Amino acid sequence: LAQTTLRSVCGQAELDELLAERDQINQKLQEIIDQQTEPWGVKVRAVEVKQIDLPVEMQRAMAKQAEAEREKRSKIIHAEGEFQAAERLAEASKVLDREGGSALQLRYLQTLSEISAENSSTVIFPLPIDILAPLIGDRAKRGTGGGSGQG
């Protein structure tokens, strides 16, 4: 009787329920067995599901599902981080636009300071194009540019 009832109750429940809500399953088993044994004057003191053995294929499928869920959460967290970084960059861009060139120049000097603090034999000083534009314009006016068109 207990085995038949156990199979019946377990067959009606979802796998997640069987694994997570064992106490409720045990209580339901106890109630059904009590109803059926009471007319005989028999009282079953305890009945419970102790262990559920799953087929290997089911265990693998559950492991794949759990891995997919972890990967999904990881991607969501990464995407949220990217979104927040983009928001911060947009805010920084607005601040730089409001402050004009002074904030950008301060950032440029800070970057140069960080580069110079590194122990390196080669240092490249990036120059903004707006600094070079007047120089390039003067060379073009004088005709001393690299591309004279003569060949």
Q: Write down the domain spans for the chain.
A: 1-53, 54-119
pLDDT value at residue 139: 64
| Residue pLDDT, tens place only, 71-96 | 999 999 999 999 999 999 888 888 77
Q: pTM, whole model, 2 decimals? A: 0.43
Task: Kindly give the parts of the chain with pLDDT less than 70.
Answer: 100-101, 123, 125-128, 131-132, 135, 137-151
CA distances from 124 to 70, 103, 105, 116, 119 (A): 43, 21, 17, 10, 13
